[in-house]
Structure 1
Amino acid sequence: MRVVCLLLTVTALAGCRDSASWPPDAGQLRTFASIPPAAYLVERIGGPHVQVGVLVGPGQSPHTFEPTPRQVAALCEAQAFFTIGLPFERLIVAKLAATRPELRVVDLRDGIELLPAVEHVHEAVAAQSEPGASGGHAHGEDAYDPHFWLDPQRARIAASTIAIALQQLDPSHGEEYAQRLAGVQVELAELDARIAARLAPFHGREFFVFHPAYGYFADRYGLKQVAIETAGKEPGARRLTHLIERARAARARVIFYEPQFSAAAAQAVARELGARVIPLDPQARDYLRNLDDIAAKTEEALRP
């Protein structure tokens, strides 16, 4: 996390007693989620009894995100913070531990089998022969891929974690949270079945992306993502040549990129292939609709 983020957070926390911009709550729980898909699940399960703020907004990357003083001040008045294991979250939680120890921090990774980040950079490690290439090794919590929500089955586990936390914070509405969870679980199971049927004919196929956000999606549906960016860095000349050759061998017709990142590298690969560049957003707030959209675009990209 950059120094400016640290200073920003410390400044906000120093004013933790200041009033934040929460709407009138009428007895509702005040909660925060790091990313829009997590906020969506909290909203669906919490219903009218929960207010949900979100830190990372549209077009922002969680990997480079810096919270504003206003956001951190709002967190100071929240009762729960739903996290996914990102570096900026750990910084905020560490600072809030001293000034807001009663804040319930809920790690949505609990109970989820995480994929190591190396699963998404191993192609780069094998192919990198650029001068000064380091291989992009990660350590500690950063050794794991945080994009678990792109697998509906893992999202079901996260949904259960959310419901349990809400029931503990607000036992008077516990039965309603359980009922809402049951409905969400059914929808997630149906979503998973739809995507599995849609992508079954393409088992083992490669799809090409700019940022390696789709490892869990690929793992769930028997696909292989090949990423242009690795370890937060765009490819050098040799890596780019390797990617173009590999995409050509796979007869790739589409290169996906995220709106949170520049499309330049994806466009460079696409130009060499005569392929299209299409956006995919792993952070869109309407989780169910977005996963259906990602599956449809992936099917289109892989169809002969």
Structure 2
Amino acid sequence: MSMHAGSPLASRQVFCEKLLSRVQRTLGSRAARSLPLSVLGALAVLAAPNAQAEDSAPLHVAVSVPPVEWMVDQLAGDHVAITTLVKPGNSPHTYDPTPRQVAELSTVPLYLAIGVPFEQVWLPRLEKNNAEMQVVHLEEGLNTRHFGSGEAHAHGHDEAHGHEHNAHHDDDHSDDHADHDEHEGHDEHHHDEHEEHHDEHAGHDAHHDEDEGLGEADPHLWLDPQRMQTVVERAAEVLEARLPQHASEIDANEQRLLKTLSELDEQIAQTLAPYKGRNFLIFHPSFGYFADRYSLEQHAIEVSGREPTPREMAMLITRAKDENIGTIFVSGQFSQTAAKRIASSLEAEVAVLDPLAEDYLDNLKHATEALKAGFELTDSQ
């Protein structure tokens, strides 16, 4: 039988060697060698529970948002203990970890980042507070979309910059997705001369992206099942390295999860195929990756990270009436006042699209059916 580092058999061998060494230091080498094997065996049995507990202790992993928690749990199950910073109802854009969470993160060995805005502010501080913590950026290098003119806004700490950026856009980008299948969700502001650089480095620094003229990076990449498959592969690789004794189990879970996500992607594409090119009105522009993947267009009620002014509200209502919008979409992390006000003016329904729901699969299925129902309602008017 072969042994690999970190396997239960290898751990027991190391433990027995340490035990014999300790007995030799206490009794002397000659006396230790003269002990009956039964005595050494009994000592090993008495101490074995501690070794087994250490060997089977779950790996403590920190993540930012519930969908990443769901993914890590699907991959490693009971072999990990997960700390999720952003709880239901919180916003990952303006979130600040609690003092208790900061203290807890000072001992966490692994942080799986996904590129949400608060991580850009807090991760350097957390790394400084815990030099032993391994930080893996699951989003790094993925093709990143950027907020377009109908969705431009700023998140929390960067709101002032977002206002300035938003002023340079016009109000119509209805042709953004004409080449959707070839470009996999890139928006029309993506410049050809930056493509190679963008593929290698996009998605990690929103400020850098703005400097390149691309606008603010959209962090909600997990809402695209195809990008989520890449995230799963990266997370599985890290978890297998940190939990080698469970590597084969994690790998099997990874393959099963990738298959499930691929099937989900096909189901959503089939359901939404009749509505290609259609747009929907959402308070916070969090479903851009989902919209890009399935050739839809999201328009945001939110303007530069704030609720619209009365003039902007009137323009939104006029536009929604012209397009016979029958459903206004909201999420639980943001105020729904403006959305409900517009819905009331339009006699439209309010429905939920939640980017942070804990059950990833059910959430994307729900989003698909909600959007389909919204389009059908518009068509019936």
TM-score, with length taken from structure 1: 0.84
Moved more, 252-261 or 80-89: 80-89
Alignment counterpart, residue 82 of structure 2, candidates 52, 72, 88: 52
SS at match of 1:113: coil
Structure 2 CA distance for aligned equivalents of residues 184 and 265 of structure 1: 38
Q: 1:123 to 1:207 in 2, by over 3 A?
A: farther
**Alignment partner, residue 93 of structure 1:** 123
Q: Is the 8 A contact 2:285 2:300 kept in 1?
A: yes
Q: Is the 8 A contact 2:153 2:166 kept in 1?
A: no
Q: Is the 8 A contact 1:123 1:226 kept in 2?
A: no
Answer yes or no: is 1:289 the counterpart of 2:362: yes
Answer yes or no: is 1:81 the counterpart of 2:111: yes
1:230 CA drift (Å): 2.5
1:171 CA drift (Å): 2.0
Answer yes or no: is 1:145 the counterpart of 2:250: no
Answer yes or no: is 1:70 the counterpart of 2:100: yes
Structure 2 CA distance for aligned equivalents of residues 211 and 122 of structure 1: 10
Aligned pairs (5 A) from 1:194-233: 194-233=267-306
Answer yes or no: is 1:255 the counterpart of 2:328: yes
Structure 2 CA distance for aligned equivalents of residues 213 and 123 of structure 1: 11
Structure 2 CA distance for aligned equivalents of residues 177 and 141 of structure 1: 35
Answer yes or no: is 1:245 the counterpart of 2:318: yes
SS at match of 1:134: helix
Q: Is the 8 A contact 2:105 2:130 kept in 1?
A: no
Q: 1:65 to 1:141 in 2, by over 3 A?
A: farther
Structure 2 unaligned spans of 5+ = 1-52, 155-162, 168-205, 211-215
Seq. identity, %:
39
Answer yes or no: is 1:36 the counterpart of 2:104: no
1:264 CA drift (Å): 0.8
Structure 1 CA distance for aligned equivalents of residues 123 and 367 of structure 2: 32
Q: Is the 8 A contact 2:117 2:219 kept in 1?
A: no
Q: 1:301 to 1:275 in 2, by over 3 A?
A: same
The residue identity in structure 2 corresponding to 1:195 is I
The structure number with the bigger radius of gyration is 2
1:100 CA drift (Å): 1.4
The residue identity in structure 1 corresponding to 2:71 is L
SS at match of 1:121: coil
Q: Is the 8 A contact 1:44 1:180 kept in 2?
A: yes
Aligned pairs (5 A) from 1:158-173: 158-173=231-246
Q: Is the 8 A contact 1:120 1:215 kept in 2?
A: no
1:27 CA drift (Å): 1.6
Q: 1:31 to 1:120 in 2, by over 3 A?
A: farther
Structure 2 CA distance for aligned equivalents of residues 197 and 86 of structure 1: 30
Aligned length: 273
Structure 2 CA distance for aligned equivalents of residues 212 and 32 of structure 1: 26
**1:86-118 CA distances to partner (integer Å, 9 max, x unpaired)?**
332233321232331221111121242110134
**1:116-144 CA distances to partner (integer Å, 9 max, x unpaired)?**
134653599xxxxxxxx634376326721
1:280 CA drift (Å): 1.8
Answer yes or no: is 1:272 the counterpart of 2:345: yes
Structure 2 CA distance for aligned equivalents of residues 82 and 52 of structure 1: 10
Answer yes or no: is 1:235 the counterpart of 2:303: no
SS at match of 1:32: strand
Q: Is the 8 A contact 2:64 2:114 kept in 1?
A: yes
Q: Is the 8 A contact 1:110 1:158 kept in 2?
A: no
Moved more, 159-168 or 94-103: 94-103
Structure 2 CA distance for aligned equivalents of residues 165 and 120 of structure 1: 37
Structure 1 CA distance for aligned equivalents of residues 346 and 136 of structure 2: 44
Structure 2 CA distance for aligned equivalents of residues 141 and 171 of structure 1: 37
Which gives a bigger RCO, structure 1 or 2 (Cα 8 Å, sep 6+)?
Answer: 1
**Alignment partner, residue 151 of structure 2:** 121
Structure 2 CA distance for aligned equivalents of residues 149 and 38 of structure 1: 8
Structure 1 unaligned spans of 5+ = 1-23, 125-132
Q: Is the 8 A contact 1:55 1:67 kept in 2?
A: yes
Structure 1 CA distance for aligned equivalents of residues 338 and 89 of structure 2: 18
Q: Is the 8 A contact 2:326 2:346 kept in 1?
A: yes
RMSD: 2.1
1:293 CA drift (Å): 0.4
Q: 1:287 to 1:119 in 2, by over 3 A?
A: farther
